[in-house]
Chains A and B, each alone.
Chain A
Amino acid sequence: MHRNELVLSGLIGTQDALRFTPGGIPSFSFQLKHQSTQPEAEHSVQVAFDLWVLALGPVAQQLAQLESGSCITLKGYLIRKHRSSPQLVLRAIQFKMFDGE
């Protein structure tokens, strides 16, 4: 019940401006555009979706410096966008850049 880990790579899409919470924590949100091929019932399937990512803390500042279109792998967990929202977002904890193949 307590496991919530997600590793996902993709391109940085739409970016919001870097903001700060009233308590002074940097906050940065952007869309991650994911595309891959994954196994499905002994075949393979094309996967493509966009997922909103919200990073808070120093990692937000680092991510905010990347340009739109950069390729990254993110590690984090899923969390509701906000209290009354059914939408899930990826809360990024770490990221790594890679060259788009």
Chain B
Amino acid sequence: MPTIQVALDVPVARLFDYDAPQATEQDVGCRVLVPFGTRLKTGILWAIATEPGCDPAQLRPIQALWRDVPALSATDLALLKFCSAYYHYPLGTTVLHALPPGLRRTKGWTPPRRTGASVLAQDSDNPPLPLALNTEQLQALRGILQVTDRFRCHLLHGITGSGKTAVYLALIQALLAQGKSVLVLVPEINLTPQLEQHFQQHLPQTTLLSLHSGLGEKERVTRWLAAQEGSARVILGTRLAVFCPMPQLGLIVVDEEHETSYKQQEGLRYSARDVAIMRAQQGQIPIVLGSATPSLETWLNAQRGRYHQHSLTQRAIAGATLPRMRLIDTRRTALQQSLSTPLLEALQTQLSQGAQSLVFINRRGYAPLLRCQQCGWSCPCTHCSTRMVVHLRTNQMRCHHCGRSRPIPVHCPDCGSVQLDTLGDGTQKVEDQLRWHFPHARILRLDSDTLSSPTQWREARAAIQQRTVDILVGTQMLAKGHDFPHLTLVAALGGDQALYSTDFRAAERLFSQLMQVAGRAGRSHLAGEVLIQTEFPEHPLFDFLMRQDYDGFAQYELNQRRLSGFPPYMHQAILRAHSKRPERLETFMAQAHAKALALAPKPPLTLFDPVNALLHRRAGDYRMQLLLQSPRRQNLQEFLGLWEKTLTASTLRSVHWVLDVDPVEL
């Protein structure tokens, strides 16, 4: 049986046949080097063909069959096959992109001469730190451990600071004792060092590795292989880790499951949370989704009894309570630039008590807009349909969509006036205002401009822990999962901007973001306070927020979604296309629409017209999209399968397109 089928990273939804006399069934899942056109490409041996698709004499022989690393197992391949089918993305591209880049090269794998110390980061001398669980935590733990030999999806809904991590750790200890491995997914790379250390202290006998895109190429492969060989028993990783092979996998944990960063926004647009659920189902193992503010999709599944819900309603540290919440109506309160008097007073009180505060504003840079006072020009990006953002510290105007930058203009290029001014607030401007109000305070700004490396994160965290900082100014980077025990005041500015959005998920996001950021306050013995400045105090979400009532908000918002026919009562997919040539893009979209109509979509499927994307132009590309939805997933999937084939057949040169299944933004 000399013919093999190979999955290759090419934008064609099929496998390719090659001649490989040396291949056996054991080699399925191995990497092979094959000639493709005039070049060599690395692929995955997908199957040994019993019947060659064409004349065997015409088949080209493979160049190499690498057995240097273990083959992907049938389970791994099945998961990738599912992803390719569900997201309607070419199988070869799906498979190759699941591999770490170091295994995609057109050469064999050579292990690094020195194995990184981190691979064997066992700390077996120290005894494990004890876990003290309260009644609710124990209840959740027992509930989840009840059935571990088959698929079960659990929602661990615990308020901020309720000790979800301790439950994960106890679960991991239990599963490790059964000889199983555990995969833990976290939404952000910056959370991994903190968690890694925390986990290691509780699991000193276990090899625990983190897996994320910040690792060097060799290191990432080494860790991937450690998981595949079973020597690393706990993998802590960002969304890409969901594809990491783990033969003894006995449990998956998805922390902060509501985070949109689990959804990849380019190439294979997968949701790591959803893929993890599928993986658990295929492997017949339990999965735990944890959050203080679950996504409404997850919440509805729990309400319908498809997920098993466990609630943690108390803060884990005895005596720690949820923070007091206060809303400041910015239309009725005097503002000094962007800061209201009650907010300044609260900060002053904190300072005089030597307590730590966080000022949250979810926009980096100095100001979102530079505007000519005389003619209204506002520094558009030359390659995107958006405005450039003022970064005063570096004297730059920067586009947050394409990354282009230019010096801050002195004159308006339209009318010539030098009377340019900034509009709106970013972290830098708020930092300046705070320095002016509190010249003696130690202020630290934390956003992706000041925290570009792990070292900077480590230093910032140390400064916060050691209380050498009085006021933190930061973006949502600070809101996720961090534990700052000395922080007692959180002030949120300008969250309202989100409510101007056209996205139906805007309220859900703002609510969960503010709940999360509020959750940073008073996690320890000190009581916390949260101040929120808003222009829309009458918006119902603030009512629920003031009571920190997630259940109430979820019920209210689900009702809205049901009435307006939005997810989670509806399943959506978007055809997204982009091109440098707008006329071709329009032609393609019109054809795609016509083809969809020709397939006579069966109700209840709804097909919308092609429209320009919200950001019509990005980095020189024009972008359009077409939305489809159906209350029945199967109905949508069947249609996408048929439509995708006709789209593939009619691809126009210079137009790129992709299907985004279960999009998280419109």
Residues of A participating in the B interface, judged by any CB pair closer than 8 Å: 21-25, 27, 54, 56-57, 79-80, 82-83
**Which of A21, A24, A54, A56: most chain B CB closer than 10 A?**
A21
Query: B459 interface residue, CB < 8 Å from A?
Result: no
Q: Is B120 an interface residue (CB 8 A)?
A: no
Instruction: Name the one of A22, A23, A24, A79 contacting B366, with C-beta atoms under 8 angstroms.
Output: A22
Q: Are B418 and A23 closer than 8 Å at their CB atoms?
A: yes
Evaluate contact between B376 and A83: CB separation under 8 angstroms.
yes
Contacts of B367 in A (CB 8 A): 22
- Nearest Cβ on chain B to A23's Cβ, whole angstroms: 4
B133 contacts partner chain A, Cβ-Cβ < 8 Å = no
Is B373 part of the contact surface with A, judged by Cβ < 8 Å? yes
Question: Inside 8 A of A79's CB, which chain B residues have their CB?
Answer: 374
**Does B11 sit within 8 A of A, measured CB to CB?**
no
Q: Name the contact of B418 in the complex, choosing from A25, A80, A82, A83 (C-beta under 8 A).
A: A25
Identify the stretch in B227-235, B419-427, B603-611 within 8 Å (CB) of chain A at 4 or more residues. B419-427
A82 close to B410 (CB less than 8 A): no
Q: Across the interface, do A22 and B374 meet the contact criterion of CB distance under 8 Å?
A: no
- Tell whether B614 is near chain A: CB-to-CB under 8 Å: no
Contacting residues, chain B, for A21 (C-beta < 8 A): 410, 418-421
Q: Which residues of A contact B374 (CB under 8 A)?
A: 79-80, 82-83
> Are A22 and B419 in contact (CB-based, < 8 A)?
no
CB distance from A53 to the nearest CB of B (A): 13
B524 smallest CB distance to A (angstroms): 41
- Give the distance in Å from the alpha carbon of A22 to the alpha carbon of B369 in the complex: 11
Query: Which among A23, A24, A25, A82 is the interface contact of B373 at CB below 8 angstroms?
Result: A82
How far, in Å, is B204 (CB) from chain A's closest CB?
53
CB proximity to A under 8 Å, residues B13-48? none
* Contact of B392 with A by CB under 8 A: yes
Contacting pair A56 B390 (CB below 8 A): no
A56 to B408, Cβ gap below 8 A?
Answer: no
Q: How far is the CA of A79 from the CA of B374 in the complex (A)?
A: 9
What are some 12 contacts across the A-B interface (CB < 8 A)?
A21-B418, A21-B421, A22-B390, A22-B420, A23-B410, A23-B411, A25-B410, A25-B418, A56-B419, A80-B374, A83-B374, A83-B376
Please give 4 more A-B residue pairs, beta carbons under 8 A apart, in addition to A22-B390, A24-B395, A54-B419.
Answer: A21-B419, A22-B367, A25-B410, A83-B376
Do B408 and A83 touch (CB < 8 A)? no
Q: Do the beta carbons of B418 and A57 come within 8 Å of each other?
A: yes
| B-chain residues with CB within 8 Å of residue A27 when the two chains form the complex | 419
Residues of B within 8 A of A25 (CB): 410, 418
Nearest 4 A/B pairs, CB to CB: A23-B410, A82-B373, A25-B418, A22-B408
Min CB–CB distance A87 → chain B (angstroms) = 12
- For A27, give the chain B residue with the smallest CB separation: B419
- Report the separation of the CA atoms of residues A27 and B421 in the bound assembly, to the nearest whole angstrom: 11
Report how far A1 CA is from B497 CA in the complex, Å: 44
Which residues on A sit within 8 Å (CB–CB) of B370?
22
Q: Once bound together, how far apart are the Cα atoms of A22 and B412, in whole Å?
A: 12
Residues of chain A lying within 8 A (CB to CB) of residue B422? 22
Alpha-carbon distance between A24 and B409 when the two chains are bound, in angstroms:
9
Q: Is the CB of A83 within 8 A of B420?
A: no
Known: A83-B375, A83-B376. A23 touches B419 (CB 8 A): no
Given the complex of chains A and B, what is the CA–CA distance between A59 and B367 in angstroms?
27
In the complex formed, the residue of A with least CB distance to B421 is A21
Instruction: Give A20 Cβ to nearest chain B Cβ, in Å.
Output: 10
What is the CB-to-nearest-CB distance from A24 to chain B, in angstroms, rounded to a whole number?
Answer: 7
- A23 in contact with B409 (CB, 8 Å): yes
Minimal Cβ-Cβ distance residue in A for B415: A83
